[in-house]
Amino acid sequence: MSNVAIVTGAGSGFGLGLTKKLLAAKWIVYGADISPDGLETLKALGANPLKLDVTSDKDVKAGVSKVIKEQGRIDLLVANAGYGSFTAVEETTSEQVRAIFDVNVFGVERCVKAVLPQMRLQKSGRIVSTTSVVAHVSLVGLGWYSATKHAVKAMSNALRQEVKHLGIQVVTVEPGTSKTAFGAAAFDKLGKSRAIGDYDGVMRGLNKWLGGLYRISPGPEKIIKKLYRAGTTSRPRAHYPGSWDVRALKMVFYAIPAKTLDRLVLWLAKR
Protein backbone atom coordinates (compact mmCIF):
# COMPACT_ATOMS: atom_id res chain seq x y z
CA MET A 1 0.00 0.00 0.00
CA SER A 2 1.41 3.39 -1.01
CA ASN A 3 1.79 6.20 1.48
CA VAL A 4 -0.44 9.24 0.94
CA ALA A 5 0.75 12.84 1.31
CA ILE A 6 -0.83 16.27 1.07
CA VAL A 7 1.65 19.07 0.29
CA THR A 8 0.42 22.67 0.35
CA GLY A 9 2.21 25.31 -1.71
CA ALA A 10 3.24 22.42 -3.97
CA GLY A 11 3.23 24.31 -7.25
CA SER A 12 6.64 25.94 -6.83
CA GLY A 13 9.74 26.20 -4.63
CA PHE A 14 10.19 23.82 -1.72
CA GLY A 15 6.75 22.26 -2.17
CA LEU A 16 7.36 21.37 -5.80
CA GLY A 17 10.79 19.92 -5.07
CA LEU A 18 9.41 17.83 -2.22
CA THR A 19 6.55 16.59 -4.39
CA LYS A 20 9.05 15.35 -6.98
CA LYS A 21 11.02 13.43 -4.34
CA LEU A 22 7.92 11.86 -2.82
CA LEU A 23 6.65 10.80 -6.26
CA ALA A 24 10.05 9.26 -7.03
CA ALA A 25 9.70 7.25 -3.81
CA LYS A 26 6.28 5.97 -5.01
CA TRP A 27 4.15 8.07 -2.69
CA ILE A 28 0.66 9.13 -3.72
CA VAL A 29 0.93 12.92 -3.56
CA TYR A 30 -1.88 15.46 -3.56
CA GLY A 31 -0.25 18.74 -4.49
CA ALA A 32 -2.27 21.72 -3.24
CA ASP A 33 -1.86 25.15 -4.76
CA ILE A 34 -3.83 28.18 -5.98
CA SER A 35 -1.76 28.76 -9.11
CA PRO A 36 -3.23 27.30 -12.35
CA ASP A 37 0.29 27.00 -13.78
CA GLY A 38 1.47 25.26 -10.63
CA LEU A 39 -1.43 22.83 -10.74
CA GLU A 40 -0.68 22.00 -14.39
CA THR A 41 2.96 21.34 -13.46
CA LEU A 42 1.89 19.02 -10.65
CA LYS A 43 -0.47 17.12 -12.94
CA ALA A 44 2.27 16.67 -15.53
CA LEU A 45 4.55 15.21 -12.85
CA GLY A 46 1.97 12.60 -11.88
CA ALA A 47 0.75 14.21 -8.68
CA ASN A 48 -2.93 14.67 -7.90
CA PRO A 49 -3.49 18.44 -8.20
CA LEU A 50 -5.70 20.06 -5.58
CA LYS A 51 -6.91 23.60 -6.25
CA LEU A 52 -6.80 24.74 -2.66
CA ASP A 53 -6.63 28.15 -1.03
CA VAL A 54 -5.41 27.69 2.55
CA THR A 55 -7.31 30.84 3.58
CA SER A 56 -10.62 29.14 2.70
CA ASP A 57 -12.27 26.80 5.22
CA LYS A 58 -14.36 25.37 2.39
CA ASP A 59 -11.37 24.65 0.14
CA VAL A 60 -9.35 22.98 2.88
CA LYS A 61 -12.20 20.78 4.10
CA ALA A 62 -13.16 19.79 0.56
CA GLY A 63 -9.57 19.00 -0.40
CA VAL A 64 -8.89 16.83 2.64
CA SER A 65 -12.27 15.07 2.25
CA LYS A 66 -11.38 14.27 -1.37
CA VAL A 67 -8.11 12.66 -0.32
CA ILE A 68 -9.82 10.57 2.38
CA LYS A 69 -12.60 9.51 0.00
CA GLU A 70 -10.14 8.43 -2.70
CA GLN A 71 -7.36 6.94 -0.56
CA GLY A 72 -8.91 6.14 2.83
CA ARG A 73 -5.95 7.55 4.72
CA ILE A 74 -3.51 10.45 5.11
CA ASP A 75 0.03 9.59 6.13
CA LEU A 76 1.65 13.00 5.75
CA LEU A 77 0.61 16.63 5.72
CA VAL A 78 3.30 19.13 4.73
CA ALA A 79 1.98 22.59 5.63
CA ASN A 80 4.28 24.52 3.34
CA ALA A 81 2.09 27.25 1.80
CA GLY A 82 3.17 30.71 2.92
CA TYR A 83 4.80 33.95 1.87
CA GLY A 84 7.19 36.56 3.19
CA SER A 85 6.56 40.24 3.73
CA PHE A 86 9.57 42.38 4.58
CA THR A 87 8.07 45.59 5.96
CA ALA A 88 8.49 47.87 8.97
CA VAL A 89 5.98 47.18 11.74
CA GLU A 90 4.34 50.62 11.57
CA GLU A 91 4.36 50.74 7.78
CA THR A 92 2.45 47.47 7.50
CA THR A 93 -1.29 48.06 7.21
CA SER A 94 -3.72 46.14 9.41
CA GLU A 95 -5.07 44.48 6.29
CA GLN A 96 -1.57 43.29 5.37
CA VAL A 97 -0.98 41.94 8.87
CA ARG A 98 -4.24 39.99 8.76
CA ALA A 99 -3.43 38.70 5.27
CA ILE A 100 -0.04 37.25 6.19
CA PHE A 101 -1.42 35.67 9.35
CA ASP A 102 -4.32 34.22 7.38
CA VAL A 103 -1.93 32.34 5.10
CA ASN A 104 1.08 31.59 7.31
CA VAL A 105 -0.72 30.84 10.58
CA PHE A 106 -4.43 30.27 10.05
CA GLY A 107 -3.70 28.44 6.80
CA VAL A 108 -1.60 25.97 8.79
CA GLU A 109 -4.32 25.79 11.45
CA ARG A 110 -7.02 24.95 8.88
CA CYS A 111 -4.95 22.19 7.31
CA VAL A 112 -3.83 20.68 10.62
CA LYS A 113 -7.36 20.58 12.01
CA ALA A 114 -8.68 19.09 8.77
CA VAL A 115 -6.28 16.10 8.77
CA LEU A 116 -6.17 15.35 12.50
CA PRO A 117 -9.53 13.50 12.72
CA GLN A 118 -8.38 11.01 10.05
CA MET A 119 -4.93 10.65 11.61
CA ARG A 120 -6.50 10.06 15.04
CA LEU A 121 -8.80 7.44 13.50
CA GLN A 122 -5.93 5.55 11.87
CA LYS A 123 -3.64 6.08 14.90
CA SER A 124 -0.82 7.28 12.68
CA GLY A 125 0.34 10.18 10.57
CA ARG A 126 2.85 12.98 10.44
CA ILE A 127 2.48 16.76 10.20
CA VAL A 128 5.44 18.78 8.90
CA SER A 129 5.34 22.58 8.88
CA THR A 130 7.78 24.90 7.13
CA THR A 131 8.84 27.58 9.61
CA SER A 132 12.06 29.61 9.35
CA VAL A 133 15.21 30.61 11.17
CA VAL A 134 13.23 33.76 12.09
CA ALA A 135 10.95 31.55 14.17
CA HIS A 136 13.73 32.06 16.75
CA VAL A 137 14.44 35.77 16.43
CA SER A 138 12.93 38.88 14.91
CA LEU A 139 14.95 41.44 12.98
CA VAL A 140 14.50 44.82 11.32
CA GLY A 141 11.77 44.61 8.67
CA LEU A 142 10.78 41.05 9.55
CA GLY A 143 8.51 41.74 12.53
CA TRP A 144 5.16 40.52 11.24
CA TYR A 145 6.63 37.72 9.12
CA SER A 146 8.71 36.52 12.09
CA ALA A 147 5.60 36.64 14.27
CA THR A 148 3.84 34.18 11.97
CA LYS A 149 6.74 31.75 12.11
CA HIS A 150 7.06 32.09 15.89
CA ALA A 151 3.37 31.21 16.11
CA VAL A 152 3.68 28.07 13.98
CA LYS A 153 6.73 26.90 15.92
CA ALA A 154 4.94 27.40 19.25
CA MET A 155 1.83 25.60 18.03
CA SER A 156 3.88 22.72 16.64
CA ASN A 157 5.71 22.24 19.95
CA ALA A 158 2.43 21.97 21.82
CA LEU A 159 0.76 19.76 19.20
CA ARG A 160 3.72 17.37 19.17
CA GLN A 161 3.14 16.69 22.86
CA GLU A 162 -0.65 16.48 22.54
CA VAL A 163 -0.77 13.84 19.81
CA LYS A 164 2.29 11.69 20.55
CA HIS A 165 0.22 9.05 22.37
CA LEU A 166 -2.04 8.83 19.31
CA GLY A 167 0.79 7.73 17.04
CA ILE A 168 0.97 11.11 15.28
CA GLN A 169 4.29 12.91 14.82
CA VAL A 170 4.80 16.67 14.46
CA VAL A 171 7.92 18.19 12.90
CA THR A 172 9.12 21.59 11.72
CA VAL A 173 11.72 22.44 9.07
CA GLU A 174 13.54 25.77 9.40
CA PRO A 175 14.86 27.26 6.14
CA GLY A 176 17.24 30.19 6.06
CA THR A 177 17.84 32.29 2.95
CA SER A 178 17.37 30.31 -0.24
CA LYS A 179 17.09 31.14 -3.94
CA THR A 180 13.40 30.71 -4.67
CA ALA A 181 10.64 33.11 -5.75
CA PHE A 182 10.00 33.76 -2.04
CA GLY A 183 12.76 36.36 -1.66
CA ALA A 184 11.78 38.37 -4.72
CA ALA A 185 8.17 38.55 -3.55
CA ALA A 186 9.17 39.59 -0.03
CA PHE A 187 11.48 42.36 -1.22
CA ASP A 188 8.84 43.54 -3.68
CA LYS A 189 6.54 44.13 -0.71
CA LEU A 190 9.32 46.04 1.04
CA GLY A 191 9.61 48.40 -1.90
CA LYS A 192 5.88 49.00 -2.13
CA SER A 193 5.27 49.46 1.61
CA ARG A 194 7.56 52.42 2.27
CA ALA A 195 5.65 55.43 3.62
CA ILE A 196 7.46 56.86 6.69
CA GLY A 197 10.77 58.63 6.17
CA ASP A 198 11.98 58.01 9.72
CA TYR A 199 12.57 54.37 8.78
CA ASP A 200 14.52 55.06 5.57
CA GLY A 201 17.93 54.24 7.04
CA VAL A 202 17.22 50.91 8.69
CA MET A 203 14.96 49.69 5.89
CA ARG A 204 17.52 50.64 3.26
CA GLY A 205 20.06 48.73 5.32
CA LEU A 206 17.77 45.69 5.46
CA ASN A 207 17.38 45.79 1.70
CA LYS A 208 21.15 45.90 1.30
CA TRP A 209 22.42 43.25 3.69
CA LEU A 210 19.51 40.78 3.66
CA GLY A 211 19.13 41.23 -0.08
CA GLY A 212 22.82 40.45 -0.39
CA LEU A 213 22.36 37.23 1.56
CA TYR A 214 19.56 36.15 -0.75
CA ARG A 215 21.67 36.87 -3.81
CA ILE A 216 24.52 34.61 -2.64
CA SER A 217 22.34 31.98 -0.96
CA PRO A 218 22.19 28.40 -2.29
CA GLY A 219 19.25 26.96 -4.17
CA PRO A 220 16.39 25.10 -2.49
CA GLU A 221 17.88 21.61 -2.73
CA LYS A 222 19.09 21.35 0.89
CA ILE A 223 15.72 22.44 2.26
CA ILE A 224 13.91 20.00 -0.02
CA LYS A 225 16.11 17.18 1.29
CA LYS A 226 15.36 18.22 4.88
CA LEU A 227 11.62 18.33 4.17
CA TYR A 228 11.81 14.87 2.63
CA ARG A 229 13.74 13.52 5.61
CA ALA A 230 11.34 15.16 8.04
CA GLY A 231 8.40 13.58 6.25
CA THR A 232 9.75 10.08 5.66
CA THR A 233 12.37 9.06 8.21
CA SER A 234 11.13 6.50 10.73
CA ARG A 235 12.27 8.49 13.78
CA PRO A 236 12.05 12.20 12.97
CA ARG A 237 13.52 15.00 15.04
CA ALA A 238 11.23 17.70 16.37
CA HIS A 239 13.02 20.42 14.34
CA TYR A 240 15.23 20.37 11.25
CA PRO A 241 17.44 23.44 10.72
CA GLY A 242 17.70 23.91 6.97
CA SER A 243 21.49 24.23 6.82
CA TRP A 244 24.60 24.90 8.89
CA ASP A 245 24.07 28.67 8.77
CA VAL A 246 20.64 28.29 10.37
CA ARG A 247 22.14 26.26 13.21
CA ALA A 248 24.89 28.85 13.66
CA LEU A 249 22.46 31.77 13.65
CA LYS A 250 20.23 30.06 16.20
CA MET A 251 23.19 29.64 18.53
CA VAL A 252 24.15 33.29 18.12
CA PHE A 253 20.58 34.50 18.67
CA TYR A 254 20.19 32.58 21.90
CA ALA A 255 23.73 33.11 23.21
CA ILE A 256 24.17 36.87 23.01
CA PRO A 257 22.28 39.49 25.02
CA ALA A 258 19.43 41.37 23.31
CA LYS A 259 21.32 44.69 23.45
CA THR A 260 24.30 43.15 21.70
CA LEU A 261 22.05 41.58 19.07
CA ASP A 262 20.38 44.93 18.44
CA ARG A 263 23.73 46.65 18.00
CA LEU A 264 24.87 43.94 15.60
CA VAL A 265 21.73 44.14 13.46
CA LEU A 266 21.77 47.94 13.34
CA TRP A 267 25.49 47.91 12.49
CA LEU A 268 24.74 45.58 9.56
CA ALA A 269 21.90 47.86 8.49
CA LYS A 270 24.31 50.82 8.28
CA ARG A 271 26.97 49.04 6.23
By C-alpha distance, which of 121, 114, 96 is closest to 59? Answer: 114
- Overall number of domains in the chain: 1
By C-alpha distance, which of 92, 89, 59, 75 is closest to 25? Answer: 75
Are the beta carbons of 40 and 17 closer than 8 angstroms?
no
Residue 243 phi, psi (nearest 5) = -160, 175
pLDDT at 58: 98
More confident call, 205 vs 172? 172
Identify whether 209 is part of a domain.
no
Identify whether 168 is part of a domain.
yes
Q: Which CATH number does the domain housing residue 119 bear?
A: 3.40.50.720
pLDDT at 184: 57
Which amino acid does the sequence have at 262?
Answer: D
Around Cβ 171, how many Cβ atoms within 10 Å? 23
Whether the predicted pLDDT of 267 surpasses 90:
no
Whether the predicted pLDDT of 164 surpasses 80:
yes
- The model's confidence at residue 84, banded by pLDDT at 50, 70 and 90, is confident
Residue 130 phi, psi (nearest 5) = -85, 115
pLDDT at 205: 76
More confident call, 136 vs 180? 136
Identify whether 95 is part of a domain.
yes
Identify whether 268 is part of a domain.
no
> What kind and span of H or E run contains 63?
helix 57-71
Identify whether 269 is part of a domain.
no
pLDDT at 113: 98
Instruction: Look at residue 237 and give its three-state secondary structure.
Output: coil
* 185 Cβ neighbours under 8 A, 6+ residues apart: 83, 84
pLDDT at 250: 78
Instruction: State pLDDT tens for residues 9-60.
Output: 999 999 999 999 999 999 999 999 999 999 999 999 999 999 999 999 999 9
Over residues 243-254, the mean pLDDT reads 76
Identify whether 114 is part of a domain.
yes
* 258 Cβ neighbours under 8 A, 6+ residues apart: none
| List 30, 145, 199, 240, catalytic entry | 145
Whether the predicted pLDDT of 178 surpasses 70:
no
Identify whether 156 is part of a domain.
yes
The predicted model scores a pTM of: 0.91
Whether the predicted pLDDT of 185 surpasses 70:
no
Identify whether 233 is part of a domain.
yes
Is 214 catalytic? The answer is: no
Over residues 191-202, the mean pLDDT reads 79
> What kind and span of H or E run contains 79?
strand 76-79
Whether the predicted pLDDT of 187 surpasses 80:
no
Which amino acid does the sequence have at 129?
Answer: S
pLDDT at 87: 87
Domain that holds residue 10: 4-199+219-256
Instruction: State pLDDT tens for residues 89-124.
Output: 999 999 999 999 999 999 999 999 999 999 999 999
